[in-house]
Amino acid sequence: MKIIKNKFLIIFILIVIVAALSYLLFFAAETKNSQPAAEEIPFKGPSGQPGVKGPLEPPPGVFNPSSPPRTEEVISFFVEGDNAGISRSPIYVKAQKTIEITFHVKTENVDSVGLRFTSAYFDTGLVAPGKEKTVRFTAPQNNFTFSLLNGDGGIKKAEGKVVVQQ
């Protein structure tokens, strides 16, 4: 009687093992075949003809981690202003370089609405006291000036100069 129980137990364990292996093989094959790999996805070119298989490139202007990052040299300046004037002028830059100027409005000796920095190449809009605004532009070929305007009426408080070097 004990031998018969052991045989049934061994047969039962074997059936469970075979069932488990069959289940795993079935679902592994099902998962593998459920989605084609990227190179198996058919591609149609602009004319509707089959295209080249392979990795797809993102459209221009979209970040592509496989391409090297573009490095752009940016030359930065910091200028403070209040009703008495500006802290830095002239600013010396090279023609055709990317320029970034951060304009900061002081908290004292300033109208409550703030100040505005403007030129032919940028306009900060109204900058509140204690705040700052950064502008970015490409330096032109010629020198130019920028104005510091009173926030209330747009009255010119000071003028700064940008000297462009070739």
> Can you give the pLDDT at residue 5?
67
d(CA 129, CA 131): 5
Tens-digit pLDDT profile for residues 77-124: 999 999 999 998 899 999 999 999 999 999 999 988 999 999 999 999
Give the global pTM: 0.57
Q: In angstroms, rounded to a whole number, what is the distance separating the alpha carbons of residues 76 and 12?
A: 78
CA–CA separation, 108 and 106 (whole Å): 6
pLDDT digits (tens, 9 = 90+) for 97-109: 999 999 999 999 9
Confidence of residue 43 (pLDDT cuts 50, 70, 90): very low
Q: What is the pLDDT of residues 126-144, one digit of tens each?
A: 999 999 999 999 999 999 9
More reliable by pLDDT, 44 or 137: 137
The more confident residue out of 40 and 80 is: 80
